[in-house]
Structure 1
Amino acid sequence: MSAKPDFEQISDAGGTLRFTGDLSLRLLGDLPDRLDAVDGKVAAIDLSQIERIDTVGAWVVHRFAERHDATVEGLDPDDQQLFDQVVDSAEPVKMRDQHGSAFTRLLEEVGDAMSMTIHTLYGLLGFLGATTIAFGAVARHPRRFRFNAVVTQFNNVGVAALGIVGLMSFLIGIVIAQQGAVQLRQFGAEVFTINLVGRLTLREMGVLMTAIMVAGRSGSAFAAQIGTQKLTEEIDAMRTIGVSPMEALVVPRTLAAILLMPLLGFYSSLIALIGGGLLTWLTLGIPPVTFIQRIREVVPITDLYIGLIKAPVFGAIIAVAGCFQGMQVEANAEQVGLRTTAAVVQAIFLVIVLDAFFAMFFTWLGWN
């Protein structure tokens, strides 16, 4: 049977306090109160005679040693490791220094944001490279191509999005035509509303708004689906059985987005033209036949080419951003929501930046 813990002061040893017995919670009793009543100098605490010690006993000894600035000795390696862990956990939490001016803190926050942005872009570039390698591996080994998964993503990214993309495009066409007619009426040039609707929808708004809609709809779904699979360790199970998550999850989604974005962009532009043509017919009295003829005259074929060139690039960016953020999910379910939001924001930001680059590039080529 374990003995109750006790201690004795050894004055001839330079103020040493020697413990005996079982320093565990069930036997401590009034030991902490008796230690609080100890007076005089204590330079060292000898634990070589104790039977055992647990975390509560270690905490009591550490508190006493800290109060008297004494050293603790005599523990075997296992008990010493336990004692060290208790000491480490007793260290006060270091709070972030809030001193300094508001301008300094602002600079720190901006610096942290820039550092995180650079780190994210670096990771995104690396993930883009890994996706390219996965495409190459599938091309070299066609049997690893998952046709059913690609068809499923065709439905999720394209077919299921036709309704919302069509409604959005129709309303955007109406808004462009209405605002253009109002502004051009001041100069007696309402007929040029057709030019505005035709060129703006085919060259910019059709593909851009479709990309934003796909980013919010499909990009978020990619991040949430893959993030949930990462959280439930399905991706680890894939690697265990020899299945590449990049080939099984990322390639089908990226391929579907790349192939369907041009189709969705073209569909969106046509619906926007229908909306703009309907409004010009109702408000300006321009019949549909005249609207179509005018569109054929004023809209160069290069505008259509520009939209079709940008669309697959936007699709690739949306899919890669969504899958990348999904793969970054760790630890808890809250990460799924955070990464899904980050995927949408990141995809929309990159799409707009690339659209600005394309605008300058095609202007430099003379495709005005």
Structure 2
Amino acid sequence: MIGGALGAFMGDVHRRAMALTGRFALTAACLSGHPETARAAGTALRLDPDRIYDDWATMARTEAARPDGIRLAIIVTPNYLHLPVAAIFLDAGIPVFCEKPLTNTLPEAEDFAARFAMSGDRMALAYTYSGYSMVREARTLIRSGRLGPLRSIQAEYLQDWLGASDAPGGWRLDPAKGGPGGCLADIGTHAFHLAEFVTGLRCNALSARVSRLVPGREVPDDAQMQLRFPGGETGGLWVSQVATGCGNGLRLRIFGEKASLEWAQERPEDLILSFPDGHSERIVRGATGVTAPSLLPRGHPEGYLEAFARLYTDLADRIEGRPAPLLPTLADGLRGQHFVAAALTSGAADGAWISLTP
């Protein structure tokens, strides 16, 4: 693991999720850019002192040369370090699991993707919500034709933790470290990826209103946009980190000719199908007929950590040579950067429609 010292939210989440799978163990780490912090954190996690590193370049070189070296590098650093760290480990022949967004800017992402085009399947992105069982069930239902031809896709991701002017946003509010995307990069990429992952549609244009609702803020904290799809389907996406009263309100609604479907991250165990005659059907994880794999039996709630663990299970399968077709890859990370860049461009042009690459 690179980054993720004790007390860092994402570092703790990754360690817990990998433990749930029973297929990973943390054996080496450079947990901070500050050597004393890195060593103290590694010691607290009971790592071999010889495998607690002060810098990631030494870690990559040393681990690649060991007969028992690491088989996966997990990157949980601030955004601006994602690609420099990933490049070092990929060059050393070590697969990478990286937090999103891929990086701070689209040109950086494109240059990296071109350089590692032949290694794309050795890099995965932590689009966590694609790991939820019922998100994967929704994807299956749509492909089975249960909703009929799709008409509209509505996604929203609402939080309120940055609502105060003195909110402790840290590097996420620093454009040099977190990038210019603000909420678009931090959580908007999740909502955009989820919409495309579940529906199988690719947005080809968007029109965005991008806002800094807290005075003095250098990066966006709210964005609302319209989406266009090649088949004439419409879409909407609202992402905010200043939506008072909202904790982690990721929600996806998909409207088809025969039925509509709704999934919400704060109620992740079921899908709601609604039909033109007014009746609704609740599909519960683990119920008869539900095909998406689960980690726990029905009635034992699965949540955020289990969704992460599903991605780690996919990673273990891929490392061991088995297919993992739903695992988000470098291509998904690049797609997220195209989304952020298009939304920022549109917002700066008063909502002009901006095309996305296919």
> Which band: TM-score by shorter chain?
under 0.3
TM-score w.r.t. the length of structure 1 is 0.22
Structure number with higher relative contact order (C-alpha < 8 Å, ≥ 6 residues apart): 2
TM-score w.r.t. the length of structure 2 is 0.22
If you compute each CA radius of gyration, which structure gives the higher value, 1 or 2?
1
Q: Where is the helix percentage greater, Structure 1 or Structure 2?
A: 1
